[in-house]
Structure 1
Amino acid sequence: MIHPSTIEEIKNRIDIVEVVGDFVTLKRSGSSYKAHSPFTNEKTPSFYVVPSKGIFKDFSSGKGGDAISFVMEVDGLSYVEALKYLAGKYGIEIKEEEQSDEAQQAQNKRESLYIVLNFANEYFQKVLHNTDEGKSIGLSYFKERGFTEETIKKFELGYSRELWDGLLNEATQKGYNKEILSEAGLVIDKDGKNYDRFRSRVMFPIHNVSGKTIAFGGRKLSSTDKSAKYINSPETELYHKSKVLYGMYQGKNAIRKEDNCYLVEGYTDVISMHQAGVENVVASSGTALTEDQVKLIRRYTENVTVIFDGDQAGIKASMRGIDLLLEGDLNVKAVALPEGEDPDSYAKQLGASGFREYVGEEAQDIIRFKTKVLLDETGNDPVKKAGVIKDIVSSITKINDPVKRTVYIKDCSDLLGIAESVLVAEQNKILIENRKKQRSDQSSQPEIEAPPFPMEQEEIIDQLDIAKIIEYQERESIRVLVNYGKNKIQTREMQDQNLIDYFLNEADEIQFTNETYRKIIEVFREKLNEGEVIDGEFLLHHEDEKVRKTVIDLSADKYEISENWSEKYQIHVPRETEFLRDVTYTNVLRLKFRIVQQLIQEETDKLKHATSEAEVDELLDDINELKMVSVEIAKILGNVLVG
Structure 2
Amino acid sequence: MISRETIDEVKNRVDIVDVIGDFVALKRSGQNYKALSPFSNEKTPSFYVVPAKGIFKDFSSGKGGDGITFVMEHEGMSYTEAIRYLAKKYAVEIREDAQSQEYSLQASERDSLYIVMNYAKEHYKERLLHSDEGTSIGLSYFRERGFNDRTVEKFELGYSINAWDDFNKKALREGYREEMLDKAGLIIKRDDGRFYDRFRGRVIFPVHNLAGKVIAFGARILTKEKDQPKYINSPETEIYHKSQVLYGMFQAKNAIRREDNCYLVEGYTDVISMHLADVDNVVASSGTALTEDQIKLIRRFTENVTVLFDGDAAGIKAALRGIDLVLKGGLNVRVLLFPDGDDPDSFSRKMGSTAFKQYLKDHTTDFISFKIDLHAKDAGHDPIKKAEAIRDIVTSISLIPDPIKRSVYIQETSQLLRMPENVLLTEMNKIVIGDKRKKDQDRAREDLHIPPDEPDVEVTAPTKLDVAGMVQLQERESMRLLLNYAENHYDEQRLVDFMLAELEDVEFTNPVLKEIYQSFKDGADRGEIVDTLYFMEHGTAAVKSLVADLTTLRYEASKHWSEKYHINIPDEKEVLHDLAYTNVLRLKFRLIQKLTEDNLLQLKNAANEEEFEKHFTIHEQLKEAEKELATLLGIVVPK
TM-score between the two structures when normalised by the length of structure 2:
0.89
SS at match of 1:211: coil
Structure 1 residues 205-246: Cα deviation after superposition (integer angstroms, max 9, x where no partner): 110111000111111222356411111111111111111111
Is this contact kept in 2: 1:30–1:560, CA < 8 A? no
Q: Give 1:521's aligned amino acid.
A: Y
In structure 2, C-alpha distance between the alignment counterparts of 1:230 and 1:355, rounded to whole Å: 27
Name 2:144's counterpart in structure 1: 144
Name 1:406's counterpart in structure 2: 407
Is this contact kept in 1: 2:602–2:615, CA < 8 A? no
Name 1:458's counterpart in structure 2: none
Structure 1 residues 439-490: Cα deviation after superposition (integer angstroms, max 9, x where no partner): 32123225399xxxxxxxxxxx9x97433323222211111112222x2304
* 1:133 and 2:133 correspond: yes
Structure 1 residues 414-440: Cα deviation after superposition (integer angstroms, max 9, x where no partner): 545655454344333333332332132
Mapping for residues 391-430 of structure 1, pairs under 5 Å: 391-416=392-417, 420-430=421-431
Change beyond 3 A, Cα 1:244–1:606: closer
Is this contact kept in 2: 1:277–1:351, CA < 8 A? no
Q: Which segment is superposed worse, 179-188 or 383-392? A: 383-392
Q: Which segment is superposed worse, 435-444 or 246-255? A: 435-444
Q: Give 2:208's aligned amino acid.
A: H
Structure 1 residues 121-153: Cα deviation after superposition (integer angstroms, max 9, x where no partner): 111111111122211211111111111111111
In structure 2, C-alpha distance between the alignment counterparts of 1:221 and 1:613, rounded to whole Å: 90
Is this contact kept in 2: 1:48–1:556, CA < 8 A? yes
Could you tell me which of 551, 554, 577 is aligned with 2:550?
A: 554
Q: Which segment is superposed worse, 6-15 or 576-585? A: 576-585
Name 2:278's counterpart in structure 1: 277
Is this contact kept in 1: 2:201–2:221, CA < 8 A? yes
Is this contact kept in 2: 1:396–1:409, CA < 8 A? yes
In structure 1, C-alpha distance between the alignment counterparts of 2:419 and 2:536, rounded to whole Å: 60
Mapping for residues 470-549 of structure 1, pairs under 5 Å: 470-485=471-486, 487-491=487-491, 495=492, 497-542=493-538, 544-549=540-545
Is this contact kept in 1: 2:159–2:202, CA < 8 A? yes
Name 1:38's counterpart in structure 2: 38
Shift, 1:550, TM fit: 2.9
Q: Which segment is superposed worse, 153-162 or 53-62? A: 53-62
Name 1:579's counterpart in structure 2: 575
Identity of aligned residues (%): 54
In structure 2, C-alpha distance between the alignment counterparts of 1:240 and 1:424, rounded to whole Å: 39
Shift, 1:500, TM fit: 1.6
Name 1:589's counterpart in structure 2: 585
In structure 2, C-alpha distance between the alignment counterparts of 1:11 and 1:614, rounded to whole Å: 58
In structure 1, C-alpha distance between the alignment counterparts of 2:314 and 2:104, rounded to whole Å: 54
In structure 2, C-alpha distance between the alignment counterparts of 1:47 and 1:469, rounded to whole Å: 26
Change beyond 3 A, Cα 1:601–1:439: closer
Name 1:235's counterpart in structure 2: 236
Q: Give 1:265's aligned amino acid.
A: E
Name 1:297's counterpart in structure 2: 298
Shift, 1:39, TM fit: 1.4
Name 1:109's counterpart in structure 2: 109
In structure 2, C-alpha distance between the alignment counterparts of 1:32 and 1:87, rounded to whole Å: 25
Change beyond 3 A, Cα 1:516–1:162: closer
Is this contact kept in 2: 1:565–1:572, CA < 8 A? yes
Name 2:161's counterpart in structure 1: 161
Change beyond 3 A, Cα 1:331–1:618: closer
SS at match of 1:68: helix
Is this contact kept in 1: 2:599–2:615, CA < 8 A? no
Q: Give 1:588's aligned amino acid.
A: V
In structure 2, C-alpha distance between the alignment counterparts of 1:65 and 1:98, rounded to whole Å: 30
Shift, 1:598, TM fit: 5.1
SS at match of 2:175: coil
Q: Give 2:144's aligned amino acid.
A: E
Shift, 1:615, TM fit: 8.3
Structure 1 residues 29-84: Cα deviation after superposition (integer angstroms, max 9, x where no partner): 22322111111112222112222222222211122222112111111112211111
Name 1:452's counterpart in structure 2: none
Is this contact kept in 1: 2:16–2:66, CA < 8 A? yes
Is this contact kept in 2: 1:273–1:344, CA < 8 A? yes
In structure 1, C-alpha distance between the alignment counterparts of 2:6 and 2:510, rounded to whole Å: 36
Q: Give 1:256's aligned amino acid.
A: R
Change beyond 3 A, Cα 1:388–1:532: same
SS at match of 1:239: coil
SS at match of 1:62: coil
Q: Which segment is superposed worse, 251-260 or 329-338? A: 329-338
Shift, 1:6, TM fit: 1.0
In structure 2, C-alpha distance between the alignment counterparts of 1:596 and 1:94, rounded to whole Å: 53
In structure 2, C-alpha distance between the alignment counterparts of 1:74 and 1:632, rounded to whole Å: 50
Q: Give 1:208's aligned amino acid.
A: N
Change beyond 3 A, Cα 1:337–1:503: same
Q: Which segment is superposed worse, 92-101 or 146-155? A: 92-101
Shift, 1:546, TM fit: 3.9
Instruction: Name the count of aligned residue pairs.
Output: 625
SS at match of 1:306: strand
Q: Give 2:246's aligned amino acid.
A: L
Q: Give 1:297's aligned amino acid.
A: I
Mapping for residues 206-285 of structure 1, pairs under 5 Å: 206-224=207-225, 226-285=227-286
Name 1:455's counterpart in structure 2: none
Is this contact kept in 1: 2:490–2:498, CA < 8 A? no
Structure 1 residues 160-193: Cα deviation after superposition (integer angstroms, max 9, x where no partner): 1121111112111111111111111111112112
Name 2:362's counterpart in structure 1: 361
Mapping for residues 48-197 of structure 1, pairs under 5 Å: 48-99=48-99, 103-191=103-191, 192-197=193-198
SS at match of 1:444: helix
Is this contact kept in 1: 2:66–2:544, CA < 8 A? no
Shift, 1:118, TM fit: 0.6
SS at match of 1:578: helix
Name 1:457's counterpart in structure 2: none
In structure 2, C-alpha distance between the alignment counterparts of 1:90 and 1:308, rounded to whole Å: 39
Change beyond 3 A, Cα 1:608–1:133: closer
SS at match of 1:49: strand
Q: Which segment is superposed worse, 24-33 or 291-300? A: 24-33
Shift, 1:565, TM fit: 5.2
Is this contact kept in 2: 1:247–1:270, CA < 8 A? yes
SS at match of 1:262: strand
Change beyond 3 A, Cα 1:590–1:112: same
Is this contact kept in 2: 1:30–1:563, CA < 8 A? no
Q: Give 1:45's aligned amino acid.
A: P
Name 2:454's counterpart in structure 1: none
Structure 1: any 5+ residue segments left out of the alignment? 450-460
Change beyond 3 A, Cα 1:568–1:196: farther
Is this contact kept in 2: 1:506–1:585, CA < 8 A? no
Name 2:10's counterpart in structure 1: 10
Is this contact kept in 2: 1:126–1:158, CA < 8 A? yes
In structure 2, C-alpha distance between the alignment counterparts of 1:361 and 1:435, rounded to whole Å: 38
In structure 1, C-alpha distance between the alignment counterparts of 2:253 and 2:316, rounded to whole Å: 25
Shift, 1:24, TM fit: 1.0
Change beyond 3 A, Cα 1:368–1:489: same
Shift, 1:399, TM fit: 1.2
In structure 1, C-alpha distance between the alignment counterparts of 2:242 and 2:125, rounded to whole Å: 23
Q: Give 2:572's aligned amino acid.
A: E
Is this contact kept in 1: 2:2–2:100, CA < 8 A? no
In structure 1, C-alpha distance between the alignment counterparts of 2:402 and 2:543, rounded to whole Å: 39
Is this contact kept in 2: 1:539–1:547, CA < 8 A? yes
Q: Give 1:508's aligned amino acid.
A: E
Shift, 1:593, TM fit: 3.2
In structure 1, C-alpha distance between the alignment counterparts of 2:598 and 2:231, rounded to whole Å: 72
TM-score between the two structures when normalised by the length of structure 1:
0.89
In structure 2, C-alpha distance between the alignment counterparts of 1:443 and 1:601, rounded to whole Å: 31
Q: Give 1:586's aligned amino acid.
A: T
SS at match of 2:446: coil
In structure 2, C-alpha distance between the alignment counterparts of 1:618 and 1:334, rounded to whole Å: 73
Q: Which segment is superposed worse, 253-262 or 527-536? A: 527-536
Name 1:47's counterpart in structure 2: 47
